[in-house]
Structure 1
Amino acid sequence: MKSFITAIVAFLTIQVSLLGQFAQPGDPFASPDQFGADQGEANPQTKSELLVDSKSIAPGQTIRFALKFTHPDHWHSYYKNDGIGISQIPAIAWTLPEGFVASDIIFPAPKEFLFLGMNSYGYEGTNYFITEITAPKDLKSGTELEFKAEASWQICKESCIQEDSTFTVKLPVTENAEANPDYAKELSGYMTKKVPTKTLPASWNLSADEKDGVITLSISSKLPEDAFFYEYDKQIDAQKPRELKVTDTNSTFTGQRNKGNDFGGAPEAKNRLRGILYVPSAIEGSNNHSFWIDVLFEGKKDNASDASTTATDLKSNETESSDNEKSSSHSSPKNIFTDSEINEMAKLYDAKAPIDYITLDQLDDDGNVIGEKAADTTLATFLVLAFIGGTLLNLMPCVFPVLGIKVLGFAQLSGNDPKKIKMHGIVFTAGLVISMWVLAAILLTIKATSGITSWGQQMGNPYFVGAMIILLVLFGLNLYGVFEIGTKLTGVGGDLQSKKGYQGSFFSGVLTTLIATPCSGPFLGATMGFALQQNTPTTMLMFTIFAAGISLPYLVLSFAPKLINKLPRPGAWMVTFKKVMAFPMFATAAFLMQSFGKQTGSSGLSWLAMGLVVLAMATFFYGHWSTPIMPKGKRYALGWGLSGTVAALGVWISLDAMSQKNTEIAASDGWAKWQPGIVPHSRSKGRIVWMDYTADW
């Protein structure tokens, strides 16, 4: 026995170690170096580091923090203006000591390359993204202050990967700041070449103009022909020709006004033209190669809002907190709006307001409305739909396995007392209706406390979905014969005329209610959603009619003994059929894993799979050692003790899996997280809004 337990522990250890191979960046179970760039192309990762130009801080001093990126070979990240309009640009959310103020990120000069067949601006190799942070003048020396930077960015090749990292730096406060020579040594060459300076050559006079959709930047100097202007605010269309013309006394950079593309509408027009002028060759009168350009369009008035980053770019909203305690540059979808914007949006959103809608039959071929809004559907109509929907639900993959099991039960009842058969049908229906009432009561309670009014909302709870997966897998293992408690659960075999048989029928009704929910969400969402918006008696009536519809086939069989007599006689086929019914159970569990994975991420899904393996081992131990022919000592020690211990471990692993949160952002996620009021808020500012929504059932 000791050696056997040792083997079990070894098996679980191997499984856990294998699971680590499937961990994702940010997974707490992954090893620190698991996702380094040296892991090869399969797991590319940017090496990131936060550098600071000072070893201490003095009152009123401005210090520079440089976020260093070393990209994997052939991968790139993005400039503030990616050129396409869909990318996740580097961003930093700062947590600063009181009174400190952080600037927006100072983007270095990028390069142009093709991505997805389109012109794009970004970075390869090693680059530095600088933030200037200014200390208050009344800062007291003798203390140590902490600076926290939460950085996020995206790297792309054929596909894209979202990355992030958090850095914490502690610096002492002194009367006189002490410079960090390592910072100057590392960035000295990069500063003059790539970091834009606001100090322009004295001979330069700048002007910007727009005529007939063509934007022109003029510089009163002869620039090298390899100079390039990387516009900052997406005013110039990177997908259209851009041209530099040079004469002996003047240089002009021209491009067409950005009117949007397949990925989004036109950006908000600004009064200023901003960007980085990068000149790889030497420039007379300057040691720098990158220059910050900020010039007012001819005929435009100066607008202070144009000189700062606005919320137009939903990929990155760089803002400064009103109390100066935090300065944030957000790009993660969960953080793109400031608190003030979220509060503003919330005022525009009324969750209880009725939705104004039209039906397709009110539209002509050109999409114009041609009639009054359709009359509201009556309660009687919804009751009929609920009954029909419940009846048809028996054919859905979630419910059909239970239907097959009950058919086996009715086959066993062939030739028995018709009163007993009818009683089994009634008890089954009672179990289904009562459990449906319990579910309705739970949903009504949630509705009263949180405002949830949607049927199927329970499928958004990872604990509910995880429990459903475990129940389906265990029931499938039971059907296949790995362990036997079937006479109590399904009413198959045994004395179905006894009290135990009635308990089996009742539990079958309860089980039908539970496993029907995954399939009924998209099938009956509108009907049950209507029910949850009514008063409590009406809601309970709707759920009762729904349950009656599901139980109809069972009642028909129990009250029509002649139909039961047409079923095949009991025999060996029942054992085979019972095992076959295990596979629809497994298929339904696999179907639900998609929803569970969306809620908990790959980490939660992987650990749930491990929990299922351990629970399956527990059922095997129980089924193998708990039989009556087994000696009492082994039955208690192995059949109950060992299986119970392993089952407890499986439950613990599964609960941990259900507690995981999905922090993984898909490569295509350049989207803003939905907020109440986001649509009217965005439309009020003249922005085009795309809504991407779905439900995983």
Structure 2
Amino acid sequence: MALLLQCLFAVLPGVVQAQGAAPTHIAAALRIEGPAAPGSTVMVALDMKPAKGWHGYWSNPGDAGFGMTLKWTQGDVAADADFGTPLYPVPETLVIAGLMNHVYEHDYAVLIPYRVPANARPGTVLPIAVRAQWLACTDQICVPEQARLAAEVRVVAPQGPAATSAQFDAWRARLPAPLGSPARVAIEGPVLRLGIPLPASVPLQAPHVFVSDERVIDYAAAQDFRRQGDLLVVTLKRASGATSPPAGLNGVLKLNRAGDGLAFAAAPGAVAAGGEPIAGAAGATGPGSLIWLVLAALGGGLLLNIMPCVFPILSLKALSLARAGESEAEARREGLAYTAGVVLACAGLGALLLTLRAGGSEVGWAFQLQDPSVVALLLLLALAITANLAGLYEFAVPGFVNRAGGSGANGAFATGLLAAFVATPCTGPFMAAAMGAALLLPVAEAMLLFVALGLGLALPFLAIAFVPPLRRALPRPGAWMVRFRHAMAVPMALTALALAWLTWRLAGPTILALDLMLAAALVGVLAVVGGRQRRGLGAAGIGTGGLVGLGLAAALIPLVIAPQAPDKARGVVPSQPFSAAALARAQASGQPVFVWMTADWCLTCKVNERVAIERTETRDAFARGGVVVLKGDWTRRDPEITRYLAGRGAAGVPLYVWYPGGSAAPVTLPQLLTPDSLTSLTGKR
């Protein structure tokens, strides 16, 4: 990025000329604080005034942008050595398309100390000049600008304290104050932990750490702030690909929204974890906000029970719920076993997700369904359950369903594991915010959210198990349960078909054909097992050996044969593949933009596409409104899409974002769309 912008500066020498030339998006002027004596230091300022809607950049611009470069001369002689390090005011954060920028959206001044030559004669005037290059941006477009700015320093005889200026005093007040005590920085795996001495009496309001060193931290990741008495502990996520620990860390701690800050220099040293969370800190969760996130995860899990992506496993839950009327003790045992299976699966998936992200992998919620090996195993599992429900064989250990229509605690536990594993691809109301926060929070708090999600998913079954009136409302056990069990084989068979289709979309026809051969072999093995069971012969060895062997083969096939996803069929609504660059170009055009994040394994996505997106009415409304449609396909792992999802606070798909065009802020749309959700956006039906 920096090299590209330098090339632009080189080929655009006339973008900005000296003072008095054509106006620019950021007007610049060179100011001198006052006369100075030989050998003394006087402050010089670059007075920067962005036009409305434009911004400039801090010395470290963040994920995008370009810091200012300065080339000084005194007369016609290069004089960079006579000018000190530029001093920047405390910057602001600006997130665009998931990228964190360190910017100034208002008038600001960069102060530079200038040392007057010791041999300068009093009464003379020293001409100084600077060739400055900077980047001026809006949230849609960036323009490289440059200027040659000149001023004069009047040399006077030494006469006590140097002159000061009220304007310069105001600019100095906006610089970060130097931290009086040394800070420490420690590396712990994927994070940096800063220990900044700061009296507990100093108030903090939406604090943020700006690191001067580039490519050290993940700028867009949440920052966790905690107090340990008079020590402020800040946890920062390391940048992807950062391997060597920094010898130290320099930066600015922003204290509040007014722009007060402290400049720190942290040396390597031990920094203990823990402390009291700071309410209102970006990325930090105080007790109140954490409670709301837990409630959101609980509600999101509860609503998963009625989401379309969960319907295929409702048959298993229905059988277990029907059996809950047999015995109060048995019902409670099954309720607790089912809940344990659901919670364990959600916590296990959450822990694996956090581990992968800590290792630098760009993965998100439902990452397991982006792996052809996992999908192949699920296909065999769904087929085995279908055969069991259809009566082809009995699966007594751990026991999904037996001949009497029951399953026991082992079966309820296994059902809970499967229910959670298949349900997790969906994100619904409440759940999206909680799961998005879980990917940014400390591990303990993130795991609490995953457990709450599992508890919400298991809550209806748990309620029936422990509330007698609900249990008594269920039909009495009887012969109807066998017929019901056979009927429930139909949705499980449809689930198997959906997983076969997903295998084709993920890995291509070759791997699908091999997986279907394994599926046919599985049905053959299960038929043999069922025949032996009906004759009273043992079949555990044949069944276990066949399942293990076929499962290993299904998992290994995508590792031996490279998956090749087929070309995507053209939809009703014309779209372009999503990328950050494509989004930036679309926004720069001034047209409205619809960002559509989907995946082939997300049933909620498919329902929304049928109901609201892939319709001629939507196509025509978007065509009339000149809407640019960017479609992000997250069926297979895509780090760029994962970063965009994280930047929008989402852990998975579906995600729909509407950019109205112009300077209007983007709007995240609901995850459940209605037929007129999109046509109404353009104001034309």
Shorter chain as denominator, the TM-score bin is 0.3 to 0.5
Larger Rg: 1
What TM-score results when the alignment is normalised by the length of structure 2? 0.41
What TM-score results when the alignment is normalised by the length of structure 1? 0.40
